[in-house]
Structure formats: C-alpha cells, structure tokens
Amino acid sequence: MTPARDDLRRLHFINALFAHVTGQDLYLAEQIRAAIAFSLAELEAQMAEHPDYAAKFDAAFNAAAARLLAQSFAHLPAHGFFHWDAARTLESATPLFARDEIMTGLKQLAPYRESTLLVTNLRPALIPPDKRATGRRLREYDELLNFIRDLAAARTAPTARLQLLFL
C-alpha cells in the first residue's frame, strides 16, 4: 500500500473508533489520526528508511489508538470499557484462555447499560504476518471470532448495549 492509502485507511479507522467524539466529522478524525501519528513520529521516520517496519508501525498505531479510546471512555462514568489484546501472551488467543479473558471483561462490563469491548490483535495472534494463512489458521480465526461474538451475546443482559470492536 502507498503511504497516502495507509493514512486514509487509518483515518477511517479513527473515524469509526472515535465516532462518539467526532460525530463522524472527518476533520476531527484527521486531527486525532495526526496526533497519534505525531506521537509515533520516530517510528514513522524509521519506517521511511525500512519499509518492512510498516507492520510494526500499524501495531503501534493501533495500540496508541486503543489507549486513547480507553482514556476517552474513562471520562464517561456511565459507559463501561474493556480492552483485550489477543497477542498479549502466546496463550491468549487459544480458546480456553480467550474465553477466560473475555469473561473477565464481560463481568467488568456487566454493571453498565452501555459498554465497549475492544479486541485487538486477534488476527495477527492466530495468523502471524510472517506465516502463511493456511486453511487451518483461517478456520481457527473464524471459529474464535464467532466464539467471542456468541459468548458476548450470551453473557450480556438483553437491556445492555454492548459494542464489540475487533481491530
């Protein structure tokens, strides 16, 4: 991808992620994207010299966006927020550990009528970028994605509004 195309993808990502702040205003989303990119300026400069650092920059950008999202929800006391990073440990993305960690998040979100469960790095944890996307890996990814959706639907009160985001 070209740098301009990557920036556009990140802009739409930020616009969707921070819709509660931007109100779908692309100008405000661009301000957030630019601020995150500025905080990663050193890594971005390294990426210009080493194009293979693009995946590293994307991971750092997503992590910075997740931290910023957590901070923005912290100012909304009536809105619950939980972030699960599937690549936190080698075992995190296995079904047993994923269930435990997602259940921990759902229990934390249970008291809130509105909440957000952010799941990051699920695909890279199951389908590493440096490895081939085999049929088995793709099937495991789809199964875990559906498992998380079903678990969240089953363990969330019918009166609660849970926003489930996968990055």
| Residues in the chain, overall count | 167
Categorize the per-residue pLDDT at 144 as very low, low, confident or very high, splitting at 50, 70 and 90.
very high
Task: List, in sequence order, every residue forming a beta bridge with 81; answer none if it has no partner.
Answer: 116
Domain locations in the chain as residue ranges: 1-75, 78-167
Q: Burial level of 139, CB count in 10 A (0-12/13-18/19+)?
A: exposed
pLDDT digits (tens, 9 = 90+) for 54-100: 777 787 888 888 888 888 877 777 888 898 888 877 777 788 888 99
**So what's the pLDDT on residue 145?**
93
